[in-house]
Each structure stands twice: as structure tokens, then as C-alpha cells.
Amino acid sequence: QVCPSLRTPRLPIWLCSITGRHSVLFGTDSQILSDWKRERVFHLYFYNGQLEQTKTACLTIDTHSHHWEEDQSEDPSSPGKRRLSVEMAIRTKWAGATVSWNGTDPFF
């Protein structure tokens, strides 16, 4: 028998398989998914357990960013426009969101 808190976690948590590696995205705000006002700008933490990750990364998600403010002159396939797999996974839930790594070098 699975306890109720395992079926419905108190905090938002996603188990991910990104490029064949298992990782966890989680938030510490229990209202992220139930209060649309809290979905504007919030933090998610990312952990993948790989050796190159020395600490849990705190990502800031902005769901109301404006895609038209990006540099339109840059080729979408150029290295500067390519998105990390983690960011693309986040965008499956929040399309068009911007992800800030808050000074952490993206390691995934």
C-alpha cells in the first residue's frame, strides 16, 4: 500500500529522464501548481547525481517572459540559441518560459 503523501506529494517534484540520465526537478513552494499567481516567477531545484554536479542547482523560472525580446537576427540553430535539455524539459510544462541558472554554469 502506498501512503497518500507519496501519491500526491506536498511539494512539486518531477522525476526526469533527460538524455538518458535520471534527474530530479523539485520546488519548495507547495502552491506553484495550484495558484496561478505563484507560477509567474519561481524557483526549481535540479539534481542529477552526476559527478560534474557539485551542488543542487537553483533555477529561476519566468513563465511570462517575452519570446519576441530575444535577438531575432541570431540563427535558431546557432550555439547561442540552442537550449539545454533541462530547459526544454521545463518548457514541456511551462511553454516559452525562460530559465536562469543564477550564476551556476549549466552542467547538463
pLDDT in tens, 59-74: 999 998 765 555 554 5
87 found inside a domain: yes
pLDDT tier for residue 7 given thresholds of 50, 70 and 90: low
The number of domains in the chain is 1
Stronger pLDDT, 71 or 18, i.e. the higher one: 18
105 found inside a domain: no
41 found inside a domain: yes
13 found inside a domain: yes
24 found inside a domain: yes
Beta carbons within 8 Å of 47's beta carbon, 6+ residues apart: 23, 24, 26, 53, 56, 57
- Structural domain including 23 reads 4-100
59 found inside a domain: yes
71 found inside a domain: yes
Grid coordinates given for 39: 507560477
Per the CB < 8 A criterion, the answer to whether 42 and 29 are in contact is yes
Q: pLDDT digit string (tens) for 28-70?
A: 998 988 888 888 999 999 998 887 788 889 999 999 876 555 5
Instruction: Using a cut of 0.85, tell me whether the model's pTM lies above it.
Output: no
108 found inside a domain: no
